[in-house]
């Protein structure tokens, strides 16, 4: 099923550690190839809890065509990511191809910036609820919400449900 299929995880400074490491572990365990994608590959990206990661590839090197899905972790990284037009375009292009986009916590900021939430049910960390509503999303308070290709969750406590829905959505993608 997952052989040679690649999933992107976007990263920048002050990401929520477990929202990167747990989906990565679950995806790799299911046989997917995971690329951590950041603004560059030279910088060390430090999570809110101190986890240090380097990007496998920079956003400049990749195309939405290379991946069957994308994970957008939370923390404060999405506030930085949404100022990077190439990252925003990557999410927009994934949406245009109806590829799974999994956003957790503050990751919803990237959905807003990429203009992909209008008319869709979504959830997020409660503090960005109004941002999602103002972008046309229908915000609900549930551990995981799936609407077409968007998968969203609220906090690290929701990671089990988030990862399960992500794996289910990716299993439906044709190679």
- Give me the active site residues, please: 105-106
Cα separation, 72 vs 15, in Å, equals 10
Cα separation, 10 vs 1, in Å, equals 23
Helix axes 159-171, 18-29, angle to 10 degrees: 40
The CA–CA distances, whole Å, from 153 to 47, 85, 101, 150, 165 equal 19, 24, 12, 10, 10
Task: Give the position of tokens 């959505």.
Answer: 169
E-assigned strands of 6-132? 6-10, 33-38, 44-46, 52-54, 57-58, 69-72, 101-104, 121-122
Cα separation, 141 vs 5, in Å, equals 32
């Amino acid at each position: 099923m997952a052989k040679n299929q690649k999933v992107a995880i976007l990263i920048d400074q002050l990401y929520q550690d477990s929202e990167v490491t747990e989906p990565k572990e679950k995806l790799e365990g299911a046989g997917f190839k995971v690329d951590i994608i950041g603004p560059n590959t030279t910088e060390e990206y430090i999570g809110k809890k101190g986890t240090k990661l380097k990007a496998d590839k920079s956003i400049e090197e990749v195309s939405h065509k290379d991946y069957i899905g994308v994970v957008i972790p939370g923390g404060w990284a999405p506030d930085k990511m949404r100022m990077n037009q190439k990252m925003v375009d990557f999410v927009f292009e994934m949406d245009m191809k109806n590829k799974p986009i999994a956003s957790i916590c503050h990751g919803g900021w990237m959905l807003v910036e990429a203009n992909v939430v209008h008319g869709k049910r979504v959830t997020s960390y409660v503090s960005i609820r109004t941002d999602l509503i103002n972008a046309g999303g229908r915000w609900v308070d549930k551990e995981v919400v799936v609407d077409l290709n968007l998968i969203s969750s609220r906090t690290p406590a929701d990671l089990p449900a988030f990862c399960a829905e992500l794996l289910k959505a990716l299993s439906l993608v044709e190679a």
